[in-house]
Structure 1
């Protein structure tokens, strides 16, 4: 437990370090803390905080910097979250609009990156069953058909089906309308089980087309499950704290490529109510020891289906990033639930 004086000095130190990126000395703490303390008193408090593992002294400076433990205490007990700027809020509301569901996931990831200047990430975890909202067929040639599948989340997947039978565009429209009318919202496994009994009313070649669509559609939707949509990874190359640490950046970009560990971390966020923050080694992902991850779950009609988040340096403006992530998750939930 810290007394009030120590809390104010730690809060001031973290805020100054986040703002300036330089170790914070006694003079700056005296100036910005609002406390009437002697330099000797401040140094004694800093020594206590260092002994507790909340701050550290770089060898090249007399000032101190927060440790991951110090950031954690700051975020949990001392942070004052800012209200999102009205311009930024309008920007989010205008772009996360339900009129364009097929692009919402990609747009959300890009918006998180644009507003924070870090990496934005949106995850759609694996669904319990491959469900589609509607299906459309488009003739590419006599025996090549483009299958377009739209999921309830607005994801669009395309697959090419090769057939032995030529189909007219009117045949394809008829098949698409039949599937959408009778099976939209069902899992493709459920549809597969009903095909033999319910499609007998159709011509044999139409049954063949629909069976091919069900198989291709199931593959397409399952492949898109647990997709990690990243945006703005290159922003991290421009951050001073990180640009000199090529080893950490290399590990992070390898994590982005593999994605499995990142998915496991973000899966934990689905179990949280609201924003969850992982600072450095708290994530148990070695590639993220120099980074922080701010996440929030999003939902469709009350059911949590995925996660949005921001990956950046530990020295990030948490008071600003937290509301951006939180509001993005809420707006995404609202827009997707309208479909």
Structure 2
């Protein structure tokens, strides 16, 4: 939920100058100096006043000087305030909506629709677009058992549907005794037997996010091991990504090591899927700025996502990955509309 600027301790003048600075930096990617702000802010104040406001914003952590020049750029905190309280999002242009409708043709089939959606997200935003494949079949958890192996490794035996057995070796943060593993499996079987495996994973992630500060020792172990198990369990949903090379066009992401890490993350998929799992249990458009994603390689990047639904149930996530200085006012409605139209097309294709 967006908060008013006063809750952040910012005057209306400071908010306005921060908005101008963020918009200018998004546009050209360069530090913004007080002279530019004086010219573009439209405020009848002196350059000295603007420098004082910038100094205050710097001390509060909303902007930073990347080097010895007087220019400043937004921090992740500055972007978050901008997105929550200062951003104006306009609806898509009719031609963009029509383009989405034409490309997301219900006659194309599920895989083709997902592929089209990822390419559309990339081409319309000039960032990387990704779409998870919709979950297809119901995979009901029947039973789970654990056996300790060596050190921080254990064997998980997972029975789904009527008779499908999956064996998984898990790397845990600490060793677990047979007694602890028995307690964990008893709890999981009692609470989740008969439920969809994806729903179990989402519930564990939600519990971990909202109740971690109040967990007892057993529940802490259940969530730690259970989240590891159900995140690592082979799943039907995957994702397709388009436009990764677009990220090479942004100077802040063009470092060879940075690009290698990002492309490795796209290839491994697990880190990204873990973030998307959190998006699947949330309503509306979600925005992760830099370290908010919890994935180190996404520092300097932002992820804007939305769920798409079939028959009223969220079955997948789509979104855009780009630099933190992305054009949020344009990306947000593109992601939102693409999610709505993809869901509509998938409903019609059934």
Residue in 2 that maps onto 1:238: 249
Residue in 2 that maps onto 1:2: 10
Which of 63, 66, 82 lines up with 1:58 in the alignment? 66
8 Å Cα contact 1:277-1:292 kept in structure 2: yes
RMSD: 1.9
Which of 125, 133, 147 lines up with 1:124 in the alignment? 133
Structure 1 range deviating more: 89-98 or 118-127: 118-127
Residue in 1 that maps onto 2:39: 31
* Structure 1 ranges of 4+ moved more than 4 A: 125-128
> Normalising by structure 1, what TM-score?
0.70
Which of 69, 91, 95 lines up with 2:99 in the alignment? 91
Q: Distance in 1 between matches of 2:275 and 2:234?
A: 20
Q: How does 1:101-112 map to 2 (within 5 A)?
A: 101-102=109-110, 103-112=112-121
Task: Tell whether 2:299 aligns with 1:296.
Answer: no
Task: Tell whether 2:318 aligns with 1:313.
Answer: no
TM-superposed deviation, 1:240:
2.5
Residue in 1 that maps onto 2:49: 41
8 Å Cα contact 1:275-1:296 kept in structure 2: yes
TM-superposed deviation, 1:262:
0.5
Q: Helix, strand or coil for the counterpart of 2:340?
A: helix
TM-superposed deviation, 1:125:
5.8
Which of 275, 291, 307 lines up with 1:281 in the alignment? 291
8 Å Cα contact 2:252-2:300 kept in structure 1: no
TM-superposed deviation, 1:239:
2.1
Q: Helix, strand or coil for the counterpart of 2:307?
A: strand
Which of 14, 37, 42 lines up with 2:22 in the alignment? 14
Q: Helix, strand or coil for the counterpart of 1:249?
A: helix
Q: Distance in 1 between matches of 2:310 and 2:135?
A: 14
> Normalising by structure 2, what TM-score?
0.68
Residue in 2 that maps onto 1:263: 273
Q: Helix, strand or coil for the counterpart of 2:85?
A: helix
**Rg (Cα) greater in structure:** 1
Q: Helix, strand or coil for the counterpart of 1:278?
A: strand
Q: Helix, strand or coil for the counterpart of 1:23?
A: coil
* 1:149-200 CA-partner distances (Å, limit 9, x unpaired): xxxxxxxxxxxxxxxxxxxxxxxxxxxxxxxxxxxxxx9xxxxxxxxxxxxx
Q: Helix, strand or coil for the counterpart of 1:293?
A: strand
Residue in 1 that maps onto 2:90: 82
Residue in 2 that maps onto 1:200: none
Structure 2: runs of 5+ lacking an equivalent: 1-8, 141-195, 197-232
Q: Helix, strand or coil for the counterpart of 1:18?
A: helix
Residue in 2 that maps onto 1:167: none
